[in-house]
Amino acid sequence: MSDIKKITTPLTDETIEELRIGDSVFITGVMFTGRDSAHKRLIEALDKDGDLPVDLKNQIIYYAGPAPAKPGNPIGSIGPTTSYRMDPFAPRLIEYGLKGMIGKGNRSQEVIEAQKKFKAVYFGAIGGAAALMAKAVKKAEFVAYEDLGPEAIRRLEVVDFPAVVVNDAFGGDLYKIGIDKYKKI
């Protein structure tokens, strides 16, 4: 495993090009949350007028539906949701300018191809560590689709949010490499 790389948002092509599968990262800056229902609405907004209610260019979406915040905390537990549910929407958002996604589980070939074409990356977050990940969130606010409750889009300010590069901008796939290693045993 490599040393932990510290990256900041908004993401640049140069940052994306430096990341490889298996890299552990600490993310600092702004990221957004969004799940299935929010993604559906984002695509509808793009179809309607070509714009989004939040600027996702060069940003990261974390596929999470945070728990309510306890008093004195900006957010509750915030664990990743299964990413493949966003696969029908992700290529279009990547083409729009989204540079990073965080979730759990593998991605479709269409998402991987979009990442290669438009220089984007998919990070894995650890399921079961939701309370720990919430500690990296310093501020959280609703920015779109508040009626969706936990699935609304929130703007998060994070410091040293932990993740691992699962799919890089070169077509690398950490899950595939892991499976291939075990097939040889």
Helices in the chain by DSSP H: which ranges?
13-18, 36-49, 90-96, 109-118, 130-134, 174-183
pLDDT (mean) for 104-133: 92
Distance (Å) of CA 2 to CA 18, 21, 22, 23 = 13, 10, 7, 6
Q: Read off the tokens for 113.
A: 């191809």
Residue 185 has pLDDT above 90, yes or no: no
Band of pLDDT at residue 25, cut at 50, 70 and 90: very high
Residue 133 has pLDDT above 50, yes or no: yes
* Burial class, 105, CB count within 10 angstroms (exposed 0-12 / middle 13-18 / buried 19+): middle
Overall pTM surpassing 0.75 (yes/no): yes
Q: Structural domain boundaries of the chain? A: 5-183
Report domain 5-183's class. Answer: alpha beta
Q: Read off the tokens for 163.
A: 């993740």
* Residues near 143 by beta carbon (within 8 Å), at least 6 away in sequence: 32, 53, 54, 153, 154, 155
- For residues 31 and 161, is the Cβ–Cβ distance under 8 A? yes
- In DSSP terms, 155 is beta-bridged to 32, 141
- For residue 184, the model assigns a pLDDT of 62
pLDDT (mean) for 15-25: 96
pLDDT tens digits along 73-118: 999 999 899 999 999 999 999 999 999 999 999 999 999 999 999 9
